[in-house]
Structure 1
């Protein structure tokens, strides 16, 4: 009978251990859309797919929490079918919530629209947007 060299056996054992103990990736939830507003009173729709973010948004709307009430994410400079009024949307994979953020990512909904051609450089570097006055107003059906 042939023997497997010790290094090969150790590598196979480590691989098997990693395979068996690595957690499965988090499954994205069915998309849920929420509407938020800002100091201008304009409305903007975001689509969430992360189960924890969806729950956090629902908790904000129901009053269960007031922690991290503002929206943050990366702009995609093209309209989304669920948010046709605006020439941009937030990439669902990048959306989160915050309490406090740096000023360089703050802008109102219409200001981003009016200056979208400047986004990604000195204005909203890396397309990161964190409207300080953002506030969820409802979950869309």
Structure 2
């Protein structure tokens, strides 16, 4: 009989610490907008091909805009656009290119010359910046923000 009582006594002694741990975490201040922006926040979008593409935002206002899109609060300016960098990024390893973080923004309507699917850009990456996606500018019309990565 002593053994179960000892176990219960030990658990009872730990209970206040277990209950206090989440409260202590909640007492910690949330990171500032500047701190979040310094590290960057990664988001994922899909296009009509259902492929996934991850990009990083560092501008606090754009981070908040992306979060409003995901929550459904923003329903107008919801598509992703930006300038392509022809090297992979550690957060978007599947593809041989990524979007330059400080160039990313959102749009409602785009011009045809900057529209392409994720895999089409990959397949024609050597042509990007010429007649195909001039200025390295990409605005996939069917881009749909799906989630914050992290």
Helix, strand or coil at the partner of 2:55: strand
Equivalent position to 1:117, from 115, 126, 130: 126
2:146 maps to 1:137: yes
**What's the RMSD between the two structures over aligned residues?**
1.3
Q: Which runs of 4+ in 1 moved over 3 A?
A: none
Partners of 1:65 and 1:132 in 2: CA distance: 17
2:124 maps to 1:88: no
Partners of 1:104 and 1:88 in 2: CA distance: 19
Q: How many residue pairs align between the two structures?
A: 116
Partners of 2:53 and 2:92 in 1: CA distance: 7
Helix, strand or coil at the partner of 1:36: strand
Give the corresponding residue for 2:111.
102
TM-score, normalization by structure 1: 0.80
TM-score, normalization by structure 2: 0.75
Partners of 2:49 and 2:90 in 1: CA distance: 23
**Unmatched tracts of structure 1, length 5 or more:** 1-26
Give the corresponding residue for 1:47.
56
Partners of 2:104 and 2:58 in 1: CA distance: 9
Which structure would you say has the larger Rg?
2
**Unmatched tracts of structure 2, length 5 or more:** 1-33
> Where in structure 2 are the equivalents of 1:9-88 lying within 5 Å?
29=37, 30-88=39-97
Partners of 1:64 and 1:101 in 2: CA distance: 21
1:98-136 superposed Cα distances (whole Å, 9 cap, x missing partner): 001110000000000000000000000000000000000
Q: Which structure shows the bigger proportion of residues in helix conformation?
A: 2
